[in-house]
Amino acid sequence: MAWFSSRKAAKETLSEDIWMKCPKCDKHIFKEDWQNSHKVCPKCNYHGKLTAWERIGITLDQGTFVETNKTISPADPLEFHDAKGSYKDKAAEAMKKTGLNESVVTGTGTINGKPVVLAVMDFRFLGGSLSSGCGEKILRAANHAYDKSIPLIIYSASGGARMHEGILSLMQMAKTCAGIARLNEKNIPYISVLTDPTTGGVSASFATVGDINIAEPGALIAFAGRRVIEETIKQKLPDDFQTSEYLLEHGFVDCIIHRSEMKAKLHQLLSFYSR
């Protein structure tokens, strides 16, 4: 009996190593196919979440990325605590889990030879929330783009402002937008890429003020949640409300680009600006 049990367990383990279920359509797909397609489901085109480093890897030319302001990390000026513990401990746990010091990674690199300043948010770090540290890194990225006259690209992936920091977090909305607005003085392009999810204070600030706003297919892009809106206006919202496709139809984003085509599209746009 033990022999049959061990055979069954081995078979289940082998299956788990090879297959996975798509988070959206529940279809079985090979894990290798999932990774090779950069976490895009071949069955339903669902675009899964990428880490900041994964996104940097498929956006920039290999070996060109130079990280900036790596040491900036969360501050806890309010000494915030809730029922689940202290903000300080949550931030430390996020840093240990992700290997990041904040919810955004910034730096410079090239896209098919064209230099860019890049900022990539990582949803794993406290939901990609906008904090004073995150805002400072984005501002410095914008300042670097201004000083060097290099295009700025930001990938957003966030649940919104980090309320553990209170008003200091909300101040980052104006701070980042001010830094980005300054790029207009030198006609330096800012391209914003909205990924799943881009919500709250991030969607209401730097994520939607790009010279060109690009979205990935099926991304949730919103300020308030669907349930909050429905309860406020006492109406049922469309099924595709707050998706990339809905926002494209209503003029809030300029285009929707498949992940596999993103680098080529960014290079094309950068080429237009550099003519």
Q: How many domains does the chain have?
A: 2
Indicate if 202 and 159 belong to the same structural domain. yes
Q: Are residues 144 and 191 in the same domain?
A: yes
**pLDDT tens column, 171-194:** 999 999 999 999 999 999 999 999
Q: What is the pLDDT of residue 274?
A: 74
Tell whether 182 and 202 lie within a shared domain. Answer: yes
> Quick one: 185 and 232 in the same domain?
yes
Whole-number pLDDT of residue 173: 98
* List of residues 6+ apart from 256 with CB closer than 8 A: 214, 215, 216, 217, 244, 245, 248
Residue 14: per-residue pLDDT? 47
13 and 144 in a single domain? The answer is no
39 and 99 assigned to the same domain:
no
Looking at the structure, tell me whether residues 27 and 150 fall in a common domain.
Answer: no
3-state secondary structure of 222: coil
Task: Give the domain range for residue 40.
Answer: 1-46
Q: 192 and 244, same structural domain?
A: yes
Do residues 34 and 147 share a domain?
A: no
Do 72 and 25 lie in one domain? The reply is no
Task: Indicate whether 19 and 62 sit together in one domain.
Answer: no
Euclidean distance between CA atoms 217 and 207, whole angstroms: 16
- Chunked into runs of 10 residues, the chain (275 residues) has average pLDDT values of 52 69 93 94 96 98 98 95 94 98 98 98 98 98 98 98 96 98 97 98 98 98 94 93 97 98 98 82
27 CB-side CA count, 13 A: 12
Q: What is the pLDDT of residues 92-104, one digit of tens each?
A: 999 999 999 999 9
Instruction: Give the pLDDT score at 273.
Output: 87
Same domain membership, residue 57 and residue 28: no
CATH of the domain at 75: 3.90.226.10
Radius of gyration of the chain (CA): 20
| Predicted TM-score (pTM) of this structure | 0.93
